[in-house]
A and B are shown apart, each in its own frame.
Chain A
Amino acid sequence: MNAILVIGGAEIRAALRNRWIIAATLLMAALALTLAFLGSAPTGTVGAGPLEVTVVSLSSLTIFLVPLIALLLSYDAIVGEAERGTLLLLLAYPVARWQVVAGKFLGHVVVLGLATTLGYGAAGVVLGAIGAADAESALAFAGMVGSSVLLGAAFLALGYLVSVSVRDRGMAGGLAIGVWLVLVLLYDMALLGLLVADQGRTITEAAFNRLLLLDPADIYRLFNLAGFAKVSLFSGMAGLAEQAQFGRAALLAALGVWIAAPLTLAAILLSRKQL
């Protein structure tokens, strides 16, 4: 069997064994169901149904939660093994170093994907059962779940990059929190500050849109809040949606870059590492 699958399978089994998957799934299901029930209260005549309300509230929550879960899963993936001595052993097997990164990543994506799909899916099924969904909102909801997994994968990849770059677990943990703070909170604030200070003089709309692509959390936000007509109507981003120059495919591709680039860099750094 391929080394990548063996290593990935071991990660999945470990997550099942230490109840990571169950805990994450229950947490996400609880949050999603809460938001779904709150959101299915009468929404008046704004033209948005309960499912759209849920997509908006849930994706706003996802931006904070999923990157955090992903970084917690991945920050010690390499450095933790190095400290336990199992990395030396793993690399003494007929396994290339990039295969170690790829295998662990694959396992963690499945873990995160399972938790997200099952947890959020529960809310989707409930809302579908009470007849709150039409085809377009169902599509928006599915897009939200899928892009949440991609967002998680991007932060998993960033977590690996952290994990191969430092020498001890404590530092990796601190750096992972730093990555989360910067990309999830500080970058948006800095961008906002920049816009206010600039007063629209030098930063054009196109430049602003490109700046948003420099943060996977913003790409996710654009994809979910502005990407669907009915959702953007409710999220208050309808204006933004009209000016957005990127299609949904382009946004997905940008998220793909945010997954591939840190992961490739992590594999290269690990290959060069002297153990």
Chain B
Amino acid sequence: MPADRSLGMDHPHYEYSSLPQRTELSWPTGDPLALGALVLLEHYEWEPPSDAYSLRNPSGGLFKLPAPDYLQLTHREYGHRVGIFRLLDTLERHEVPVTVAVDKLTAMHYPWLVDHLQSRSCELIGHGVAASQLITSKMTEEVEVEMIEESLSYLERVSGQRPRGWFSPEGVESSRTPTLLAAAGVHYVCDWPNDEQPYQMTTPSGELVSLPLFLEVDDEFALWRRRASLGSWEKMIVSAAHRMHADGQTSARHLMLTLRPWLTGQPFRIGALNRALSSIAKLQSVWTARGSEIVDAFKAVANSD
């Protein structure tokens, strides 16, 4: 099939936009940089449904072992039992409010944890059903709609609030996902790590904002997939924050750190996050915010045009 070499994106989800040509963005505090943290609570099932999709090589454990892979599964579970508290304590110490992506099976099997997150003023966002049940183009639209709704309504039931944000399990979408999320009433999605500012998506089914994460400093991408050293990860975070803080003087930026409790919550890693946040704190004029606060601030500027 010949490529359709037409102007702009090769998909309908958003329009091309070069950062320097955009309307200037500013945050409510006037700070050049917004800093947020998206903590992922991902549940991996011991026995996923036979028709479910998982990543070919999910992270954690040693390497892919025949089922049941105790190492991978229990390494992941460490996050829910132990690591999450180190992450929350560290982020709170630096006054970074926390956004948490909670999948349905986490909400179902760890109701204590959902209450705890709410008691610590975390914003909860939708995260699918489980990390072992990816949303992909291999499923029908009907199944995908059901899965999105199941995840959102379960989280709404246990937390009392319909999530405004969304991050797909393992960041995997079908080619329909943005449209279906907007139709389900989701306000913002974190699946597209392609920008340093939020931007409007062009979903026909409702208004949806993309709130990009910063993939290169995502703990799993850096520490597990790239096997960056801890020192190098810490430097990357600090250096990205410093540069965006400087560049944000002309048009504000946001930096969303993606953190996994089973990974950064390990005893030997938590110090690196703590040091990076201490370093960023020295920048002074940084606005720390939850996902929906960043998105609302972006919308206020976008709508005033």
Same complex: no
B interface residues, Cβ below 8 angstroms from A: none
A interface residues, Cβ below 8 angstroms from B: none
